[in-house]
Structure 1
């Protein structure tokens, strides 16, 4: 049997104590403590919308340009280059698909979509207008 020097046990205990105490304090965001002033890009949205968006961003779903070839339906939100908001859906098989978005005036626009990153799609209509969309 290997005999450990008495100071080895003290060092191990000290190491465990240090490592245990290094855990970062976690700040849990709840409905009551969500500070909308920190979310400058989303000031126009309600607190409920922001909570739903935050929750959807933390779900482990493979929405990326590297996704396997399968067909899926996604709800999307986004904006054009002038910052006008749109909402809609996209049906995608592999990296490309089709969808429809509705602008703030209620006009429905058919678009072709393509993955450009994790949870991000590029959309283009027949007239050449472009939108960047985010999967909800």
Structure 2
């Protein structure tokens, strides 16, 4: 069971990194946070492709390393991950959460502002909070998938 969790988490983590950066199209990245139907659809397409990428990675681990999971656990785990990813990638939602928990300043760090370059080593606080949110939910998904 411990090895199954580790294998599932590793597969999800690798697929997330690849899918969130290489599989996602520029159009999806540019539009997914817009407060419009176009933005919601772009986010749905991104999350769909990302979830497929994660399913393929888990299948590869199943074929190569013998990971076996219950189909319902797989569906629930990937669905929880997909829902959490969509929620965060709508951007305003994660921004509101950051503000509610006192992280608004960090969320805004590194964002383009005239005369300000406060986080050249970080990228942006929004990106760091986004990615850490996703990784936490990958952990939850791996727990569900291998339960």
TM-score (norm 2): 0.21
Task: With a CA cutoff of 8 Å and minimum separation of 6, indicate the structure with the bigger relative contact order.
Answer: 2
Larger radius of gyration: 1
TM-score, normalised to structure 1's length?
0.23
More helix per residue: 1 or 2? Answer: 2
